[in-house]
Amino acid sequence: MPIVEVSFTDLQRLARKNISSEELLKALELMKGEVEEVSGDSIVFEASHDRPDLFSAEGLGRALRYLLGVEEPPSAPPVSGDMTELRIVNPPRYRPYAYISIVKGVELDDEAIRQLFQLQEKLHATYCRDRALVSIGLYDLDKVKPPIIYTSVSDGRYVPLGYSEEMSLKEILEKTEKGVKYAHLVKEGEYPLLTDSEGQVLSFPPILNAEWNKVTPETKNIIIDVTGTEPHLMMRVLNVMTYAVLERGYGKALIMRAKVVGGAPDNPYPTTPHLEGKLFSVHVEDAESLLGLRVSAEDIPVLLKRMGYAVTSITSDGVRVWVPPYRVDVHGVVDIIEDLAISYGYNELPTETLPPTHFSGRSSIEHLTRIIRDIMVGLGFDEVVNFMLIDPDILKLVTDEPFVTVANPKMKTYSALRNCMLASILIAGKVNSEKMGEVEVFEVGDYVIPKQHDAESVRGMAFLLMGDKYTLTDGLVTAKSVALTLGLEYRFEPYEGKPYIRGRAAKVFLNDVEVGRVGEVHPEVLVELRLTKPVVAGEFNLTKILREIIERK
C-alpha cells in the first residue's frame, strides 16, 4: 500500500476549511488510510490501494470537503467547451495507446508541484506496474504548440529533464538513471515519442520528459499524457491525475478535452479524457440484503453525499447517484453500499451471531493426525514443527524423488517445498543434538509431491531416535506400536535406498498396504548434515493410511 506524505496547511487550503488534526485522523480512517506519522505540518499515511484518488493531498482535500459538508459533490465534470487534438501517427506497436488531458487555470507552488509528482510516482509504482502498463507525464501547456503528436522514431535528440545538454534517445537510455532503469520497456528502432506540432520533443515515454516544457510554479495550464498498453487502465489513471490537477485551480480550473486522431482501430476512447463517470441506483433493499441494516430512503442521500457521490435523483425506495470518473474503485452497487456503511459508521452497524445450525466437524485427516500425535507422545516422543519450505540440498540428501522448487526464493534455505517429512525431522535432530543426550522427536505435517499439472499435498508423520543406544529395532518397535494401537496388521520387508543403510532399513506395510519406511540413517548422510550421533528414523504416509486403509475398512 502506498505511503503518502501531505502538508496539513496545504490540506486545509484544498479542503477550504480549518480542520483539526482529530477531524483529519477520523476522516482518514473512513477513507481506509492508516496514519503512520504526524510531525509538525507533515502527515504520513498509508493509503488504501483501491483509492488512487487519495494518493496525494489534492484528492484527500476534495474528499474532506464532501465529508465535512464544505460543498456538495458536483454531478458533472467541469469541462470547457473548446477542444484540441491528439494525433497518433505510427505509434510503437508494443505501446500503441496514448491519451492526453488539459487542465486550465491552476495556481501552483512548490508544495503543489511536490504533491502532483508524488501522485504521479505512486500511480507509476502501483497501477502502472512501474510504467510497464502506463506511463504518465505533465507539461506546461503554454510552452508547447498543440496539437500533440504521439509517434515512434528510431532516434531523436532533446535536453532531458534535469540535464543541460542535448542527448540522443540512445544516450538517454545509457546515461540517465531513468534511462537505465526503464530501457527494458522500449524497443530499439521503435522508440515512443511525444512532440508538439512543431516537432519539439515533449517526452520520451515511458523514460524521461524534456527540460524546456517542465511544470514550474509559474505554470497556469497543464497537459497530462498517458501512454501504454492497456487503454482502460490508462484512462482510469489519466482521470485520477486530471482531477488532482483540477484541484489546484481551487474551484476555478477547467478541463479541456482532445479528439484522438489516428492510432489503433480498437482505441475505445475517441475523446480524451473520458469523463462519463458511472450512474447507479442504490435501493434500500440492496443495502439491507448486503448489510443486514435498513437505512431509510431519506438517510441514504445524506450518507452518500458525504462519501463524494453526487445524488441525481431521489425515489421512495432509494437514490440514483453519479460516480465521478476518479472513483476508479467503484465497479458496482456493492462498492457504493460499502461507502454507505462506512458513512453510517462500522461500529454503529448491528451485529448478529448466527447460532450453529449444522453439524460441524474436523476434516478426517486432522482427526487421524490427532490420534497419531497422541500415540507418539505416549511413546515418549516430543512433537516438533518445521517449515514446509526447505533447503533443496537437504531434500537431495534424503530422497531421489522430485520436489517443487520456488522460482523466486528470498533465501536458498527456503527455496523448495519438502516432498517428505524425513528431511524435516533430521533438521530437528540436528537442532537438538547438542543440548540433549538422546533425542526422540516426531512431526506431523504436510509435504508436496509434484504432478503433471499440479502438486499434491500429503499429510505425513516422521520420527527420529538419535543416540548411541538406538538401532533399527527401536524404529521397528515404534512402527509396530503405532500399527497395533491403530488395530492394524503390520509387516516389514527389507528396504534399500536413501537415506538408510543397506540391510538396516525396512518398508512398513499396514494391512498389506505399504505406508512407510524405517531405517538407520547412513553415516554418509549424517556426516553431510554434520550430525555426530547415530540416527534411527522413519516416516508414515498418513494420507495413504486414511484413504487406503481406514476409509476402505
Partner 1 sequence: MGLMEEERVLLPERQYRLVKALAGMGGRAEASRLAEAVGRKQSDIMRDLAELESKNLVKVLRVKTWHVCLSPDGRRYLKEGLPEERLLKIVGVRREFPSVKELAKACGLSRNEFAAAFGRLRKYGAVKVVSGKVIYSGDGVEKLLSDIRRTRELLGNISECIHVRELPEWVAELKRRGMVEVTESRVVEVEATETLRELLEAGRVSEAPLITRITSEVIVSGKWRGAILKEFDLSIEVPVKYPSRKHPYVEFLNHVREVVESMGFVEAKGPHVETALWNFDVLFVPQYHPARRESDVYFVAGETVGVAPSDVLERTREVHERVWKYRWDPREALKLVLRTHTTPVSMRTIYSRKEGEYRVYSLDRVFRPDTPDPTHLMEFHQLEGIIVGKHVTFKHLLGFFKEFAKRLGLGEVRFRPAYFPFTEPSVEGYIKHPKLGWIEVFPGGMFRPEVLYAVGLKGHNVAAWGIGIDRIAMMVLNMNDIRNLYTNDVGIIRSTPLPKEVMR
Decide whether 255 or 287 has the Cβ nearer to partner 1.
287
d(CA 233, CA 97): 11
d(CA 511, CA 292): 54
Asked if 20 interacts with partner 1 (CB under 8 A), we say no
**Which amino acid is residue 184, in one-letter code?**
H
What's 456's DSSP letter? E
Q: Nearest approach, Cβ of 369 to partner 1 (angstroms)?
A: 9
Q: Nearest approach, Cβ of 259 to partner 1 (angstroms)?
A: 21
**Which stretch of DSSP H or E encloses residue 498?**
none
User: Cβ(367)–Cβ(543) under 8 Å?
Assistant: no
User: Cβ(221)–Cβ(104) under 8 Å?
Assistant: yes
Q: Strand 191-195 relative to strand 148-153: parallel, antiparallel, unpaired?
A: antiparallel
Which window, 24-32, 53-61, 65-73, 502-510, contacts partner 1 (CB under 8 A)? Answer: 24-32
Considering only residues 79 to 118 of the shown chain, the ones binding partner 1 according to CB under 8 A are none
d(CA 509, CA 522): 22
The single residue among 386, 399, 511, 541 that binds partner 1, judged by CB under 8 A, is 386
Considering only residues 219 to 278 of the shown chain, the ones binding partner 1 according to CB under 8 A are 230-233, 268
The single residue among 25, 404, 513, 549 that binds partner 1, judged by CB under 8 A, is 404
Considering only residues 474 to 493 of the shown chain, the ones binding partner 1 according to CB under 8 A are none
Asked if 299 interacts with partner 1 (CB under 8 A), we say no
Asked if 453 interacts with partner 1 (CB under 8 A), we say yes
Decide whether 139 or 447 has the Cβ nearer to partner 1.
447
Query: Grid cell 482529530 — which residue?
Result: 22
- Nearest CA to 232 out of 273, 182, 262, 193 is that of 273
- 184-213 footprint of partner 1 as x/- string (CB under 8 A): ------------------------------
Which window, 314-322, 385-393, 468-476, 526-534, contacts partner 1 (CB under 8 A)? Answer: 385-393
Tell the burial category of 503 from Cβ atoms under 10 Å away from its Cβ (0-12, 13-18, 19+): exposed
The single residue among 39, 296, 316, 452 that binds partner 1, judged by CB under 8 A, is 452
- 322-341 footprint of partner 1 as x/- string (CB under 8 A): -------x-xx-xx-xx--x
What's 210's DSSP letter? B
Asked if 347 interacts with partner 1 (CB under 8 A), we say yes
Asked if 396 interacts with partner 1 (CB under 8 A), we say no
Largest CA distance in the chain: 93
**Which amino acid is residue 145, in one-letter code?**
K
Decide whether 18 or 351 has the Cβ nearer to partner 1.
351
Q: Nearest approach, Cβ of 159 to partner 1 (angstroms)?
A: 33
- 115-154 footprint of partner 1 as x/- string (CB under 8 A): -----------xx-x---x---------------------
**Which amino acid is residue 512, in one-letter code?**
D
**Which stretch of DSSP H or E encloses residue 525?**
helix 523-528
The single residue among 37, 82, 285, 366 that binds partner 1, judged by CB under 8 A, is 366
Decide whether 189 or 268 has the Cβ nearer to partner 1.
268
Phi and psi based region of residue 183 (left: phi greater than 0; alpha: psi -120 to 50; beta: remaining): alpha
Asked if 293 interacts with partner 1 (CB under 8 A), we say yes
Considering only residues 489 to 528 of the shown chain, the ones binding partner 1 according to CB under 8 A are none
Asked if 388 interacts with partner 1 (CB under 8 A), we say yes
Residue count, binding to partner 1 (CB under 8 A): 95
Asked if 351 interacts with partner 1 (CB under 8 A), we say yes
Radius of gyration of the chain, Cα coordinates, nearest whole angstrom: 33
d(CA 444, CA 436): 21
Q: Nearest approach, Cβ of 313 to partner 1 (angstroms)?
A: 24
d(CA 533, CA 520): 11
With helix as H, strand as E and coil as C, how does 87-154 read? EEECCCCCCCEEEEEEEECCCCCHHHHHHHHHHHHHHHHCCCCCCCCEEEEEEEHHHCCCCEEEEEEC
Asked if 9 interacts with partner 1 (CB under 8 A), we say no
DSSP 54-72: GSSHHHHHHHHHHHTTSSP
Decide whether 150 or 442 has the Cβ nearer to partner 1.
442
Asked if 8 interacts with partner 1 (CB under 8 A), we say no
Asked if 393 interacts with partner 1 (CB under 8 A), we say no
